[in-house]
Every structure is written in structure tokens, then in C-alpha cells.
Amino acid sequence: MAREKVGIIGLGAMGKPMALNLLKGGFEVFAFDIRKEPLEELEASGAHALTCPHSVATHADRVITILPSSRDVQESILGRNGMIATLREGKILIEMSTISPLVTQELAGHVEKTGAKMIDGPVSGGGKGAEEGTLTIMVGGDTEVFEQCRPILMAVGKNVHHVGAIGMGETVKMLNQLLVGVNLIGVCETVGLASKLGVNLEQLYEILRTSAGRSMQLESKMPMIVSGSYDTAFKIDFMEKDLGYAVEMARDVEFPLIFGGLAHTLFLATQAERGKNGVEAMMNLFEAIGNVKLQKSL
């Protein structure tokens, strides 16, 4: 029996391990990235390394895009050497980047004019979740198309949820990012105040992670914040982008986004100097405004 042909465009911190899990899942993988290194690594693992999105969509029946921004996804579909010219009935685009829900809906309109179908399925779980195949995936789109893609989604994720029509996956992802951003600000503020009060940060971490203040951001980010060993897999630039989408969505429905708006402002304030750093570098802003230097203890 022939293996199902799956394309993947974007081999960054999330896309490359997802592609490797697709190979492990028995899919025939066709990959593209603007960088040679991840392409060569995937090719060595058994994938087909191709030269552009158009080529990927020519060879694969299902194509995943997992790219940094709305503009990157638009270019991969509509741009020069984009997929749009080769999409046709029977092909499905699985858009798994974190981008604007409105852009997602607009792109779906272009895709469906070709006879192809599109769903959006942004992911959460970080690089570790991508490597282990345990990502949470929030899917928007037609139910029948979602079910056709379920085996692919289950090869890269553990918690797969169909949340509504096209664009709703991105909407739910924005809500997740809103909580992530607000929680991370809370962790940085707490660590800064604790340090200024002379609290032992290692002991504080052990207490908080078993107390009511516990959160995923606390457990995953506080050790890095206190040690200064930042992970650049998820950058401040990305969080500013995601919170910006949340602010736009709230404005469109006239909902006062108080804490989310403040979190976005703080990430904007940090972005110019530290945008390429991991989100943990937000702590540097609190060190500056609080006139405190963390005592590294974790």
C-alpha cells in the first residue's frame, strides 16, 4: 500500500521535529525551508527535500505550513513559487502557523477557489511537545476535511480538538497565547519582587510549584529566568505578534483587554532590544524598572 504523501513548509523549532514525527508515522514527507541545514537533516532521515512551496504542493496531497508570520504563510500560498497554481480538488492545506484569523479566512477563500480545501490547526506545547509528538492542536474548518486529516494531526500531536469553522483554530490559539503572555508577566514580576525582598528563589520555586500560584509558565520558565539560561525557541518577537492579534480581536468585538493589553505593551517595550531573545528575557525589563539584579540560584 502506498504511503500517504504529506508536505511540510517551514522547518523551524516546531516544523522540523513535526516532520521527523511524520516520517516515524510512516508518511512520505516532502519538505521545504529557506535554510539548507534542516532540509539536509530531514533528507538524511528519509524525507524529500524540495526547492519551493509550489514543488511541495505538486508532490503532496496534504501540505502543512508552519511558518513565523501571516506574511510568510501568504507568500507560501500566493507568492512567486507559491502553492496556489498547483492546488486542485483532492488536495488539502493544513495551516498550522500562529497567524491572524482574518488572514486565515482570506487564504482559505483563495484555496477553495482552486477546488482544494483548507483547515487551520495551530499548535501549542513548545519544542519539547513537537519533539515528543504531544502537541495540542486547535483545528478550524469543515468536519469532514478535519477527519481526513486526523491521522496526520495525531502523528504530531496528542490533544487534537476540532473547535469550529475555518479561522476558529487561530482564534482559540490567540486565547491560549493571551494567557501565556499574562502569566509570564506575572512570573517575572513575582520573581523580581521576591529577589528584592531577599527571598531564596530556589526555595520559592519549590513552594510555588506545589501551591495555588502554580502554572505552566512558572514551571517551565522560572528555572530559566533565575538561571539566565534563556531558550530562544520561542522569541519575544513571536509573543508580541501573538498578543498583537489578541489585542486586535478584542478591539474588533469591543472587549476591554486590560491585562492582555498591558502584557502586549510590555513585550513591545522589550522587543526593540531583546526581540530575538526567548520570552524569558522579559525578566530583564523587570530587573531594570525594579532596580534589582537576580541572585542566580537554580
Q: What is the pLDDT of residues 263-283, one digit of tens each?
A: 999 999 999 889 898 899 999
The CA-atom distances, in angstroms, between 78 and each of 11, 85, 86, 145, 223 are 19, 8, 11, 22, 42
Residue 205 contacts residue 222 (beta carbons within 8 Å) = yes
Residue 205 contacts residue 245 (beta carbons within 8 Å) = no
The pLDDT value recorded for residue 294 is: 84
CATH number, domain of 273, equals 1.10.1040.10
The pLDDT value recorded for residue 3 is: 87
pLDDT at 1 over 80: no
Percent of the chain scoring above 90 in pLDDT: 89
Cell (9 digits) for 115: 477546488
Domain span including residue 130: 5-165
Catalytic residues: 173
Specify if 215 maps to a domain: yes
Residues 177 and 160 grouped into a single domain: no
Q: Is this prediction's pTM over 0.85? A: yes
- Give me the half-sphere count of Cα atoms (radius 13 Å) on the Cβ side of residue 292: 21
Which one of 122, 139, 165 terminates a domain?
Answer: 165
Number of domains into which the chain is organized? 2
The pLDDT value recorded for residue 188 is: 95
Residue 66 contacts residue 57 (beta carbons within 8 Å) = no
Task: Return mean pLDDT, the chain.
Answer: 94
Specify if 294 maps to a domain: no
CATH number, domain of 53, equals 3.40.50.720
pLDDT tens for 185-239 read: 999 999 999 999 999 999 999 999 999 999 999 999 999 988 888 877 789 999 9
Specify if 295 maps to a domain: no
Cα 77 from Cα 108, distance rounded (Å): 10
Would you mind telling me the total number of residues written for the chain in this entry?
298
pLDDT at 2 over 80: no
pLDDT tens for 114-160 read: 999 999 999 999 888 999 999 999 999 999 999 999 999 999 999 99
pLDDT at 72 over 60: yes
Residues 281 and 224 grouped into a single domain: yes
Position 97: which residue type? S
Residues 151 and 200 grouped into a single domain: no
The pLDDT value recorded for residue 120 is: 98
